[in-house]
Amino acid sequence: AQTVTQSQPEMSVQEAETVTLSCTYDTSESDYYLFWYKQPPSRQMILVIRQEAYKQQNATENRFSVNFQKAAKSFSLKISDSQLGDAAMYFCAYCSNDYKLSFGAGTTVTVRA
Amino acid sequence: KAGVTQTPRYLIKTRGQQVTLSCSPISGHRSVSWYQQTPGQGLQFLFEYFSETQRNKGNFPGRFSGRQFSNSRSEMNVSTLELGDSALYLCASSDSGREETQYFGPGTRLLVL
């Protein structure tokens, strides 16, 4: 089974500042997908960003961007111009052609006003 | 399009009982996956259905089962409930050809007493 590691249990950021969440994964596959999901206190899992491993270009969705380093098996999420609504648990997830998402343990992000 | 819906949202059962949870996917989505989220084990894959067939199953005991109907709606059943089955059960749906990109419902919180 693939292992996804999020080494930061908690991160805190000042409103309007930038925060970067780390994620590493272990796989022997060459073709796979990586995701960041956000889970606010409502517990609804929200897809933030998607990255295809065969694409070298880093994915971007508005204020959210990733730094995908395939050789290092690293997939970090950068949240720019942080807003109070960004406060949530963020999960890094891996998926190959079996369509099973493997999740990391999550990083709790708090945003200071 | 309406999102993934799950019913019921909250459920309280006692040990030994059985429970059935329901999931309606996003219109047009034919793949439905189920995940269990607990504080101790995090997010774990239960099973995935496509066109009424189970394509993948996670490492859960046989007490956990599921099915999918012709309209893509899915149910999961847990028999002989144990205290450790208390969890948030999340359903996700995805589109044909993009099964790796999964959109989650709000979840069902199950408490076993």
**Min Cα separation A92/chain B (Å):** 11
Three-state DSSP at A75 gives strand
Residues 58-77 of A with CB under 8 A from B: none
Contact A45 B31 (CB under 8 A): no
**Min Cα separation A73/chain B (Å):** 19
Residues 25-84 of B with CB under 8 A from A: 31, 33, 35, 42-43, 45, 48, 55-56, 58
Rounded mean pLDDT, A77-92: 98
Residues of chain B with Cβ-Cβ distance to A102 below 8 Å are 45
Question: pLDDT at position A1, please?
Answer: 60
Report the share of chain A in percent with pLDDT over 70. 99
Contact A99 B31 (CB under 8 A): yes
Report which DSSP code applies to B97: T
Please say whether the dihedral angle defined by the alpha carbons of residues A19, A1, A99 and B73, taken in this order, is positive or negative.
negative
Residue-wise pLDDT for B70-103, tens only, equals: 999 999 999 999 999 999 999 999 998 888 999 9
Residues of chain B with Cβ-Cβ distance to A105 below 8 Å are 42
**Is B78 within 8 Å of B62 (Cβ atoms)?**
no
Residue-wise pLDDT for A93-110, tens only, equals: 999 988 999 999 999 999
| Alpha-carbon span B73 to B52, nearest angstrom | 9
pLDDT at residue A2 above 90? no
A87: closest CA among A103, A66, A108, A63? A108
| Cβ pairs bridging A and B (under 8 Å) | 55
pLDDT at residue B1 above 80? no
**Is A15 within 8 Å of A84 (Cβ atoms)?**
yes
